[in-house]
Structure 1
């Protein structure tokens, strides 16, 4: 599978202490797609802009959509703009694709057959490969997972985003850093809306 599908699979792990927000995950999935396109030689990074190479035709449908969506005219698209544009509802698109491929299934939590339903990765070779990458703390997957908060289960002496020494590819380092900033920006928007909503509620409630 792709890095994005591996990341989505890891995010579906029922053993996680905290669920991952769809907005955060969508941004990280867009970053994962871009990193895979860099690895395939389909794009390069010049400063904070995405410079497309020769048109690519990835085997993966969602990666193909990502490649087709690249801006191919100068001054090219900024990485941050790509994350917000490509990331819109991207987690839902990956959920649908993995369900279609039989990689995800609906399960009910608890012992009651009418309990709340949740998504869970099925036991397939693709899921096991994703789990292997996670167990091995493959740097790109580990860093993207850490950005969206999937590192709380690890011991304190294992590397996360904040103490990651960097990647061999400077372009990958740039992408991961910008994904991190975008997720932080999204969290700031959430907090601001929460404060505004609370203030509005207090206004109507009165003294």
Structure 2
């Protein structure tokens, strides 16, 4: 299982009183994919530019799509641009993919954890492993769930030759999610003001 798939399973497995915004999760999933690509050797960072490595095969179809979508011409793509481009609608893509793999089942009634999603997790072993990874405070997943306000665990320091690159990606995810939340807040304020004008 990739970090992105684990993150999707964790987000879709939230209790009934919690939600995650689809756009926030999409950005985090794009960041998780970038980290998976870094760890697989399919990608390196030059400052904030994503430099693709040689084409490589993967058993995960969505990670394969991520590899195929890397910009392979200089000056290459920034991490920020990748998050917004690759992240567009990515939460729904993961929901459908996991449903097709039998890891999610169609939801009945209300109480969806992912807004506009149609799926909830099964009790598959993959779901249990994702939950265990989150509970263990594994640094990357802990950082991503923290950005989404899904977990309380603080990431522990870990030795990793790509640590600086991973930190840059995690920072970019945090910035992008903050920016998206600010846009939503601004839109909500504007909508409320417009409604008040009509009611007044």
Same fold (TM over 0.5): yes
Structure 1 position 16, deviation (Å)? 6.4
Is residue 9 of structure 1 aligned with residue 9 of structure 2? yes
Secondary structure of 2:65 counterpart: helix
Show structure 1 runs of 4+ deviating over 4 A.
Answer: 164-167
Secondary structure of 2:32 counterpart: helix
The structure with more radius of gyration: 1
Q: Distance in 2 between matches of 1:173 and 1:90?
A: 22
Is residue 204 of structure 1 aligned with residue 175 of structure 2? no
Structure 1 position 30, deviation (Å)? 0.3
Structure 1 position 165, deviation (Å)? 5.3
* Matched residue, 1:25: 25
Q: Distance in 2 between matches of 1:28 and 1:58?
A: 21
* Matched residue, 2:183: 189
Secondary structure of 2:167 counterpart: helix
Structure 1 position 80, deviation (Å)? 0.4
CA contact (8 A) 2:20 2:148 kept: yes
Q: Distance in 1 between matches of 2:173 and 2:132?
A: 23
Unaligned runs of 5+ in 2: 113-118
Q: Please report the RMSD computed on the Cα atoms of aligned residues, expressed in angstroms.
A: 1.7
What TM-score results when the alignment is normalised by the length of structure 2? Answer: 0.90
Structure 1 position 182, deviation (Å)? 0.1
CA contact (8 A) 1:105 1:122 kept: yes
CA contact (8 A) 1:30 1:90 kept: yes
* Matched residue, 2:154: 159
Unaligned runs of 5+ in 1: 109-114
Structure 1 position 17, deviation (Å)? 4.2
Q: Distance in 1 between matches of 2:122 and 2:196?
A: 46
CA contact (8 A) 1:16 1:150 kept: no
- Which segment is superposed worse, 48-57 or 115-124? 115-124
Structure 1 position 120, deviation (Å)? 2.2
* Matched residue, 1:174: 168
Aligned residues: 192
Q: Distance in 2 between matches of 1:166 and 1:81?
A: 27
